[in-house]
Chains A and B, each alone.
Chain A
Amino acid sequence: MSRTAAAAKPVRIPRRTPTRTPGPAERRGASRRLGGPLAGVPWVLPALLFVGVLLIYSFFRSIYGSFFEDNGFTRHYVGLDNYTRLAQDPIFGQSVLNTALWVAGTLLLPVFTGLLIAVATHNMRFGNVAQLVIVLPFVISGASTAVLWKFILTTEGALNGVLSTVGLDSWTQSWLLEWPQNTLSMIVASTWQGTGINVVLFAVGLRAIPRDTVEAAQLDGATGWRMFRYITLPQLRPMTVVVVGMAIVNSLKAFDMIWILTQGGPARSSETLALTMYREAFRLFHVGYGSAVALVLSVIVVASSWMYLRRQMPDTRAEGSR
């Protein structure tokens, strides 16, 4: 979850360099002792070493590697072959389709449910308790959530148990064994885990709406749906931008849940791009091919969050909400 900052821009506050007026410290040679314009370099060096060697180098190495046929032992240059193979691979097509389903599903369900729950629990007795219950799954790991949901979704699992107890035997099915149910069930499980944080964020946004705005609207006779549509929703816009931005990035990267629930199966039908990359590179040792998948995924992640934020950010500023 903490990776979601990719969706956000750094807070831009003009940097002010401490300026020193010539004084006693200057005369004692402080500037010499503190070094010139490069005095900061040793301080960034550890961060640069870690990030540069392990992440940035790996990133470029991955791009370079995607032009090679590489099985972990031998490799030779194949140019764009990996990419043409991607375009023709039916599994890659399935994987792109599933990734799109994940993005659509984890946008619609958790964001919409989160908004509804936040609005419903706002100013409600015990509303905080309800919010706490719903945010709890967000805190436990994707792996344990997946283990718990596997228990629910397997063919002898809790969900089918409940369905046959209440007499809906015809609704029971092997949730994880057929496409598209497996992908859809996993999106539901992911909604269970991820909605809580949206509730909390929307609740923060709701509390920030000025009281006068609401009162003025009430005087004008706005209630219920009209109040929600014309007052609450526009005022929540900055927070919605954030929530949707997070959801896009996180759903593109979904891995833990799928790996534990289906391992992308059966017959790779529930793989997303994140899974396909892992399986190609580390199970089938198609390292170059895996790198190509990773690059496609990266381009999608960066492009979609950039396009989304570029469209949304100027508007939020114009409204003067922050």
Chain B
Amino acid sequence: MGRATRNLFVGVCVVLWLAPLYLLAVNVLTPAGAYSGSPDWSPQGFALWENLSTAWNEAKIGSGVGSSMTYALVCGAVAVFVAAMASFAVVVLPIPKPAFWFWLIYSGTLFPVQMFLGPLFGMYADFNLYDTRLGLMLVYVAWNIPFAFFLIRNQLTTMPPEVTEAAMLDGASFRRIFWRIHLPLLAPSLGAAFIFQFSAVWNDLLFGITLSRSSDVQPVMATLAALDSAYAATGPPVILAGALIVSLPTLLLFLMFRGVFLRGVASSVR
């Protein structure tokens, strides 16, 4: 590729990729009532805060954000902790057939989510977990464990066993070795796993629309999807404001922890 062609190609790509984002930015500014029925390409007023607050309060994105923030933070943290315990057991502790345990837990990532949904729905109906926050949180934790386990185990296998041996010679218990030695040393993969699981839960739509229906339980993506199907009633600027709100947390997380995030991707796909 010649230099000029190359610059032109990259320039065109950047414009193509920015155009939808620009469209989002401009139309979120349009007052909901003044929306003409076709998209604007230049700002038609400045109603950003009104649109955001309509989306937040009346379209109930706010309550979805609250629920999803809880799900993402709590389930991400619990899943990472449980996965760290399991990796510790499989790599460090004496346990028969570690490979079997690894594949058993890791198998949770192999199948599409659709394979779990039907039976989960039935079980949840039987145990009164359908449409409860607890129910969603349980499945989010379970869904996140295999991948977090994979990341953390990979880092753990690179750690020299002498570390554990030395601690054992000093008479430390497994619990002490785990808390004082492995957890601190595993900080990079714990962080990467948490960022991944946070965005996975935050971005989930399918579990949300399958296992819950009331607006104070539904995660934010389900709220956004519901808002979108009520397109005519709310007006596009409000819907786009909703899309903007739900995109911000993962966007900020990415921009702050880009290195961790990308290293995580690279290690997960290797």
Contact = CB atoms under 8 A, between A and B. Distances in A.
A260 B92 CA distance: 45
Interface residues of A, number: 111
Interface string B42-55: 00000000000000
Contacts of A5: 109, 147, 150, 268-269
User: What is the predominant secondary structure among interface residues of chain A facing chain B?
Assistant: helix
Interface of A: 1-8, 10-11, 13, 15-20, 23-25, 28, 30, 33-34, 36-41, 43-44, 46-48, 50-59, 61-62, 65, 113, 116-117, 119-121, 124, 127, 130, 133-134, 136-137, 139-144, 146-152, 156-158, 161, 192, 197, 200-201, 204, 224, 242-243, 245-246, 252-253, 255-256, 259-260, 273-274, 277-278, 281-282, 287, 290-291, 293-295, 297-298, 301-302, 322
A7 B269 contact: yes
Contacts of A295: 115
Given A201-B266, A278-B206, A24 B169 contact: yes
B119 A192 contact: no
Contact of A157 (B39, B153, B157): B39
B252 to A, nearest CB: 9
Contacts of B41: 158, 161
A143 B246 contact: yes
A146 B225 CA distance: 9
A277 B27 CA distance: 35
A144 B115 contact: no
B118 interface: yes
Given A65-B118, A242-B270, A255 B206 contact: yes
Interface centre among A3, A10, A47, A158 (most CB of B within 10 A): A47
Contact of B118 (A6, A37, A62, A143): A62
B138 to A, nearest CB: 6
Interface string B144-158: 011101100110011
A60 B239 CA distance: 39
Nearest to B178: A43
30 contacts: A2-B197, A4-B268, A6-B110, A11-B270, A16-B161, A18-B168, A20-B165, A20-B169, A38-B96, A41-B89, A43-B88, A44-B105, A50-B141, A54-B138, A58-B120, A61-B118, A120-B6, A121-B10, A133-B18, A137-B17, A137-B21, A139-B250, A143-B205, A144-B244, A150-B228, A158-B41, A200-B265, A278-B210, A281-B117, A290-B114
A206 to B, nearest CB: 13
Interface in B226-270: 228, 236, 239-240, 242-244, 246-247, 250-251, 253-254, 262, 265-266, 268-270
Contact of A47 (B96, B145, B239, B268): B145
Interface residues of B, number: 111
Interface centre among A5, A48, A146 (most CB of B within 10 A): A5
A163 B156 CA distance: 55
Nearest to B196: A2
Contacts of B96: 37-38
Contacts of A58: 115-120, 123
